[in-house]
Amino acid sequence: MRTQACTRKFAYVANSLSNDVSAFEIDRLTGALTELSPPVSTGARPNAVAVHPSGKFVYVTGLDSDDISVYRVDSKTGALIRVGSPVPTESEPACMAFDPSGRFAYVACIHDGHLASYAVAVATGALTLVDEPLLCEGAPFSIALHPSGKFLYLANVDSRDVTSYRIDPTSGALTALWPPTPTGGSPRAIAIHPNGRFAYVTSSESHAISVYRIDPGLGRLDAVGGSVQVETFVFGVVIEPRGKFAFATSPTSNHVSAFAIDGATGALRTVGAPLRAGTHPRAIVIEPDGRFAYVANCASHDISIYGIDRSTGALTSAGAPVAVGRLPVSIAIQTV
């Protein structure tokens, strides 16, 4: 990912009920969002928005239309321009992610439990299936890739576990690493530490974030023991670029929590009291410089903006929430 040379930053928000994606420019000094143009239409009930590592393309999955909409990013304005027809998928594509090189994309479908691998045409953004989708029972809900590009992790809500996969470096094909890692509750999100040594999984049932050590050679997850409790239902989790702090959303209490990360063990320590968000906060992202966090509030239909204290990880409000389309469920950031 490019962070040092970026001159402009853009945020893209998938709005599930209005069937569109909103585009904003991010003010580098204040973190404020300025809408670029009217929202762009997507497939039915968009659920995930993902930016290609090159920053040239944006992809949005449609839960009800069973497809992926592809957009080219205008390098001067950040506006989205639809490219070709939507790419068909299996039933209800819930999440999408790219390997660090941008050569491969992975999409998990929650209804029929399929995980598909795609080759990405770097010039056009087109997606081509690598092989037949894999069956991954358990309602896959969240996907994350190891920073090395060697492994993929899938959080499965119904089977209450995380499945690990090895990625073929040539073809992008996946091989499951059995058995899955039990999480003890319904996992909603998974984040990988930038150093590739730890994984963090949220549980909607146990109201906790569990920490796992990643075997560097095999890619398997091993519980490090203990977890950090969050006051209520915990949903999204994200780690800032330096790997010093983590942040999580709690939809039922309408809060965002901050945690310091122990560099040696990966353990989390709560930083301050939870901070108020909008109504039903779900997705959370950090911009590449690690100075601002953005939270998509589903029920209040807006984005909350927070400043991040680079020394302590404490969050502070960075202005009034910004209105988006109806039911924002996913947010991604791109730099040029």
The pLDDT tens digits for 256-300 are 999 999 999 999 999 999 999 999 999 999 999 999 999 999 999
Q: Which amino acid is at 106?
A: Y
CA 295, CA 319: separation in Å to the nearest integer?
13
Instruction: Give me the pLDDT at residue 336, please.
Output: 75
The pLDDT tens digits for 83-140 are 999 999 999 999 999 999 999 999 999 998 999 999 999 999 999 999 899 998 789 9
Residue given tokens 């990966």 in the structure block: 266
pTM for the whole structure: 0.95
CA 16, CA 3: separation in Å to the nearest integer?
29
Average of pLDDT values for 307-334? 97
Q: Which amino acid is at 313?
A: G
pLDDT exceeds cutoff 50 at 1: no
Instruction: Kindly give, in sequence order, each residue whose CB lies less than 8 Å from that of residue 189, ignoring residues fewer than 6 positions away.
Output: 141, 142, 155, 201, 202, 235, 236, 237
Max distance between CA atoms of the chain, in angstroms, equals 48
* pLDDT band, very low/low/confident/very high, at 226 (cuts 50, 70, 90): low
- The answer to whether the CB of 240 falls within 8 A of the CB of 290 is yes
* pLDDT band, very low/low/confident/very high, at 229 (cuts 50, 70, 90): confident
CATH code at 9-335: 2.130.10.10
Structure tokens at 157: 């809500």
Q: Which amino acid is at 264?
A: A
φ, ψ for residue 120, nearest 5 deg: -105, 125
Instruction: Give me the pLDDT at residue 308, please.
Output: 98
The pLDDT tens digits for 176-221 are 998 999 997 899 999 999 999 999 999 888 789 999 999 989 999 9
According to DSSP, residue 287 is labeled -
